[in-house]
């Protein structure tokens, strides 16, 4: 009976279409969180999470809804991460559901991530309930959006709920549709335990907290559980649900979505996507789709103060406990000293990690420009995997270099198609298709090297389309490209941490631009500093940082003491993010400057 009245679903949406606001409304409406506690309670648990240093995220909520038919239903609302870096996790979260509420902004219509999420939901064979949100907006055009949903996605939208999460319109209709249209979970209570891990977080008291969906069977404290892909066993310490605070339960049974703790020390031991079963009564096979997450982007991280290398190692080890996708290994740079080469799922992931290292561990870091992973085919018929441009072998032994490509879907209003194509072409994209979604919107499809996307592609796209373009991409594999390593020499010395990989067609222009850029951001010294960009022994561009003239500040700021002090203070603050390389001081920006040039 309990199983028959369960409904497990996610809310999926393009960024800012109102997913979180709708989730909040649903919590209020079902009295999971009392109106007056709404704000308070959420903030409380956030503080707690902060103190304990676990993820600040509402993962799943169990809530009870009394439907119009008089019956009580148990809903599990499963949150999904919003960013394309974390698509894999979205897909795992959806695998824990039978249905998805698809939120589309009534003014914006369908965007790239709307489609990407719909495809993921379809892959998982979910029932999709379209909701047209923000109908309170003056610019709302629900009928146009309804038509888009039918024409572009091919879903029947005749019963799509018109809602405003902001003013609380249509929420009950959504809940009723969840009851009527989303199927109850199937699965067998008497079969051996099969539970999908779709998310995990690290808690310093309880170890790893696994978010699970029970597909078959039952799990309770004291059971010896086994992870089917890693073959590790643990004794279950606690099971429960989030509502939204954790509530202990005696067991979790088929259809339930909740948490399991078992004194697991690192998230690597129990990865997202793995299947839990019982050691003494194992399921014959694991659930499909277990995949180790592999980093797509690498960069070097170095402490500004070299004596803090050990602190950085400890910080990374701590972060690794709750971030299964983070990878790192020690490396040395002639220029920067001892540090780590770190791998990330994407640039957002990289930013988050850097920010956490600096804020939570009080470290000042120099990070080098992000690089993708290259496959280098050598003349001796072997292949080298290179994630640090400085490790690229000499041109003489290289047969060819392959780089990762992605298929990019870019959605824009008609007027910007030309602009988008120009940018994509300029980023070495191969045009694939132009799909008209309706009278006014187009999906432009390109195959583009991942390295170009990693650079400033999205920023460019946004700024040249007044923010209208939305982007989604997926890896499609490796292709041979005409690439080479560009070295930067300061004062005649090769600074390994500034090396980057460049396409032959752009080498001259990029070399020139980067030399100019470095000239403007590296502070002057008492002596002249020549800057050169070179491929192999061939110098492509050169420039010089002029020597300081004497007493510039004295003349400019001599009269105004406070102003001068301010300047000195500012310089001091800026100093923190500088690295002395030989006789030259290089600021953090210099390492990122390769990202900001054409
Ligand atoms: P991310 O968390 O960034 O993925 O966005 P989201 O999809 O969760 O959107 P969120 O709920 O944060 O809403 C984005 C913005 O839209 C917020 O400023 C909301 O206040 C606003 N918003 C959400 N629903 C409505 C609505 O029904 N009407 C109006 N006018 N604004 C809304």
CA 106 / ligand 1 centre spacing (Å):
12
Q: For residue 199, give the nearest of 60, 296, 327 by alpha carbon.
A: 60
| Cα angle for residues 95, 79, 83 (degrees, 5° grid) | 90
- Taking a C-beta distance cutoff of 8 angstroms, is the pair 116, 189 a contact? no
- Taking a C-beta distance cutoff of 8 angstroms, is the pair 431, 425 a contact? yes
Q: Which of 43-52, 355-364, 367-376 has the lowest mean pLDDT?
A: 43-52
**Residue 83 CB less than 6 A away from ligand 1:** no
pLDDT of residue 268: 78
**Does 85 have pLDDT greater than 80?**
no
Q: Residues 451-478: what's their mean pLDDT?
A: 83
Q: Which of 130-144, 178-192, 253-267, 319-333 has the lowest mean pLDDT?
A: 319-333
CA 452 / ligand 1 centre spacing (Å):
31
**Residue 14 CB less than 6 A away from ligand 1:** no
**Residue 377 CB less than 6 A away from ligand 1:** no
**Does 582 have pLDDT greater than 70?**
yes
pLDDT of residue 86: 61
**Does 84 have pLDDT greater than 70?**
no
**Does 433 have pLDDT greater than 60?**
yes
Residue 190 to residues 218, 249, 564, Cα–Cα distance (Å): 8, 19, 77
What is the C-alpha separation between 332 and 300, in angstroms, rounded? Answer: 9
pLDDT of residue 54: 35
The single-letter DSSP state of residue 1 is -
The SS3 assignment for 272 reads: coil
Q: Is 432 exposed, middle or buried (0-12, 13-18, 19+ CB in 10 A)?
A: middle
**Does 572 have pLDDT greater than 90?**
no
pLDDT of residue 88: 63
**Backbone torsion region of residue 146, taken as left when φ is above 0, otherwise alpha when ψ lies between -120 and 50, otherwise beta:** alpha
**Does 50 have pLDDT greater than 90?**
no
Take atom 13 of ligand 1 and give the residue whose Cα is closest: 18
What is the C-alpha separation between 363 and 342, in angstroms, rounded? Answer: 16
Percent of the chain with pLDDT over 70: 87
pLDDT of residue 411: 86
CA 78 / ligand 1 centre spacing (Å):
18
pLDDT of residue 44: 42
Q: For residue 575, give the nearest of 50, 567, 172, 57 by alpha carbon.
A: 567
Strand partners, 71: none
H/E stretch holding 201: strand 194-203
Q: Which of 20-34, 429-443, 547-561 has the lowest mean pLDDT?
A: 547-561
What is the C-alpha separation between 296 and 347, in angstroms, rounded? Answer: 9
pLDDT of residue 41: 41
Percent of the chain with pLDDT over 90: 46
DSSP character string of 515-554: HHHHHHHSPP-SS-EEEEEEETTEEEEEEEEPPPPTTHHH
pLDDT of residue 9: 96
User: What is the pLDDT of the chain when averaged over all its residues?
Assistant: 85
**Residue 375 CB less than 6 A away from ligand 1:** no
Q: Residues 389-402: what's their mean pLDDT?
A: 92
DSSP character string of 482-509: -EEEEEEEETTEE-GGG-EEEEGGGHHH
CA 18 / ligand 1 centre spacing (Å):
3
Q: Which of 168-172, 350-354, 392-396 has the lowest mean pLDDT?
A: 350-354
Q: For residue 597, give the nearest of 438, 437, 405, 459 by alpha carbon.
A: 459
- Taking a C-beta distance cutoff of 8 angstroms, is the pair 76, 228 a contact? no
Q: Is 535 exposed, middle or buried (0-12, 13-18, 19+ CB in 10 A)?
A: middle
pLDDT of residue 531: 93
CA 20 / ligand 1 centre spacing (Å):
7
**Residue 16 CB less than 6 A away from ligand 1:** yes
**Residue 20 CB less than 6 A away from ligand 1:** yes
Residue 497 to residues 346, 354, 515, 583, 589, Cα–Cα distance (Å): 20, 17, 15, 16, 13
Q: Residues 125-138: what's their mean pLDDT?
A: 96
pLDDT of residue 182: 96
Gyration radius of the chain's alpha carbons = 27
Which of 12, 15, 20, 470 has the most ligand 1 atoms within 8 A of CB, as the residue to mutate?
A: 20
What is the C-alpha separation between 581 and 429, in angstroms, rounded? Answer: 37
Whole-model pTM over 0.80: no
The segment with the largest mean pLDDT, out of 37-51, 249-263, 491-505, is 249-263
Interface confidence (ipTM) of the complex: 0.97
- Confidence label for 560 from pLDDT (cuts 50, 70 and 90): low
Angle separating helix axes 19-29 and 171-181, nearest 10 degrees: 90
What is the C-alpha separation between 323 and 318, in angstroms, rounded? Answer: 9
Closest approach atom of ligand 1 to CA 133: 27
Q: Is the bond leading into 244 cis (omega within 30 degrees of zero)?
A: yes
Q: For residue 273, give the nearest of 212, 319, 322, 219 by alpha carbon.
A: 212
- Taking a C-beta distance cutoff of 8 angstroms, is the pair 283, 194 a contact? yes
In this predicted model, which residue has the larger pLDDT, 527 or 83?
Answer: 527
Give the count of beta carbons closer than 10 Å to the beta carbon of residue 124.
Answer: 19
pLDDT tens string 173-205: 999 999 999 999 999 999 999 999 988 877 778
**Residue 15 CB less than 6 A away from ligand 1:** yes
**Residue 136 CB less than 6 A away from ligand 1:** yes
What is the C-alpha separation between 153 and 213, in angstroms, rounded? Answer: 28
CA 135 / ligand 1 centre spacing (Å):
12
Take atom 2 of ligand 1 and give the residue whose Cα is closest: 20
Which residues, 6+ apart, have CB-to-CB distance to 543 below 8 Å?
A: 515, 516, 518, 519, 530, 531
In this predicted model, which residue has the larger pLDDT, 162 or 577?
Answer: 162
**Residue 82 CB less than 6 A away from ligand 1:** yes
pLDDT of residue 48: 41
- Taking a C-beta distance cutoff of 8 angstroms, is the pair 73, 65 a contact? yes
Which of 104, 165, 167, 169 has the most ligand 1 atoms within 8 A of CB, as the residue to mutate?
A: 165
**Residue 18 CB less than 6 A away from ligand 1:** yes
The SS3 assignment for 24 reads: helix
pLDDT of residue 46: 45
**Residue 165 CB less than 6 A away from ligand 1:** yes
pLDDT of residue 89: 66
Q: For residue 80, give the nearest of 10, 9, 16 by alpha carbon.
A: 10
DSSP character string of 334-401: TTTEEEEEEEESSHHHHHHHHHHHHHHS---EEEPPPB-PEEEEETTS-EEEESSGGGPPPGGGEEEE
**Residue 48 CB less than 6 A away from ligand 1:** no
**Does 56 have pLDDT greater than 50?**
no
Q: For residue 369, give the nearest of 390, 353, 392 by alpha carbon.
A: 390
CA 142 / ligand 1 centre spacing (Å):
16
């Amino acid at each position: 009976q309990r199983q028959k009245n369960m409904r497990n679903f996610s809310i999926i949406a393009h960024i800012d279409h109102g997913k979180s606001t709708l989730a909040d409304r649903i919590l209020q409406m079902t009295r999971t969180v009392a109106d007056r506690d709404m704000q308070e309670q959420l903030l409380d648990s956030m503080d707690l999470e902060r103190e304990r240093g676990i993820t600040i995220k509402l993962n799943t909520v169990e809530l009870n809804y009394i439907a119009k038919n008089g019956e009580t239903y148990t809903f599990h609302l499963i949150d999904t991460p919003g960013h394309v870096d974390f698509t894999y996790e979205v897909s795992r979260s959806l695998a824990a559901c039978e249905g998805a509420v698809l939120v589309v902004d009534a003014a914006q219509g369908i965007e790239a991530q709307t489609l990407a999420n719909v495809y993921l939901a379809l892959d998982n064979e979910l029932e999709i309930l379209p909701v047209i949100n923000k109908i309170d907006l003056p610019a709302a055009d629900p009928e146009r959006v309804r038509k888009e949903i039918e024409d572009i996605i091919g879903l029947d939208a005749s019963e799509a709920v018109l809602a405003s999460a902001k003013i609380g319109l249509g929420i009950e209709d959504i809940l009723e549709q969840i009851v009527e249209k989303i199927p109850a979970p199937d699965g067998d209570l008497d079969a051996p335990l099969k539970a999908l891990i779709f998310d995990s977080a690290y808690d310093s008291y309880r170890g790893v907290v696994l978010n699970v969906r029970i597909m078959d069977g039952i799990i309770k404290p004291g059971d010896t559980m086994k992870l089917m892909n890693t073959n590790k066993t643990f004794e279950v310490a606690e099971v429960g649900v989030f509502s939204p605070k954790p509530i202990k339960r005696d067991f979790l049974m088929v259809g339930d979505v909740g948490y399991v703790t078992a004194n697991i020390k690192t998230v690597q031991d129990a990865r997202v996507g793995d299947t839990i079963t019982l050691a003494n009564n194992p399921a014959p096979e694991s659930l499909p789709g277990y995949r180790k997450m592999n980093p797509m982007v690498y960069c070097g991280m170095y402490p500004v103060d070299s004596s803090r290398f050990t602190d950085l190692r400890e910080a990374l080890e701590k972060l690794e406990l709750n971030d299964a996708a983070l990878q790192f290994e020690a490396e040395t740079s002639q220029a920067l000293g001892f540090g780590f080469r770190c791998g990330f799922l994407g640039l957002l992931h990289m930013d988050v990690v850097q920010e956490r290292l600096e804020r939570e561990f009080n470290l000042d870091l120099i990070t080098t420009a992000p690089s993708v992973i290259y496959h280098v085919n050598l003349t001796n018929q072997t292949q080298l995997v290179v994630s640090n441009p400085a490790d690229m072998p000499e041109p003489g032994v290289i047969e060819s270099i392959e780089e990762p490509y992605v298929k990019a879907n870019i959605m824009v209003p008609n007027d910007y198609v030309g602009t988008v194509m120009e940018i994509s072409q300029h980023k070495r994209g191969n045009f694939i298709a132009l799909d008209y979604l309706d009278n006014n919107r187009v999906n432009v499809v390109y195959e583009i090297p991942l390295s170009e996307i990693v650079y400033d592609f999205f920023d460019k796209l946004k700024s040249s389309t007044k923010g209208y373009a939305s982007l989604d991409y997926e890896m499609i594999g490796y292709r041979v490209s005409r690439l080479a390593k560009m070295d930067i020499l300061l004062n005649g010395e090769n600074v390994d941490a500034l090396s980057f990989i460049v396409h032959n067609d752009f080498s001259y222009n990029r070399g020139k631009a980067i030399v100019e850029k470095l000239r403007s951001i590296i502070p002057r010294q008492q002596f002249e500093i020549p800057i050169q960009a070179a491929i192999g022994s061939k110098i492509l561009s050169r420039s010089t940082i002029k020597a300081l003239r004497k007493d510039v500040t004295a003349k400019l700021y001599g009269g105004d003491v406070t102003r001068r002090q301010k300047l000195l203070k500012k310089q001091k603050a800026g100093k923190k993010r500088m690295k002395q390389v030989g006789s030259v001081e290089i600021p953090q920006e210099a390492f990122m400057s390769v990202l900001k040039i054409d």
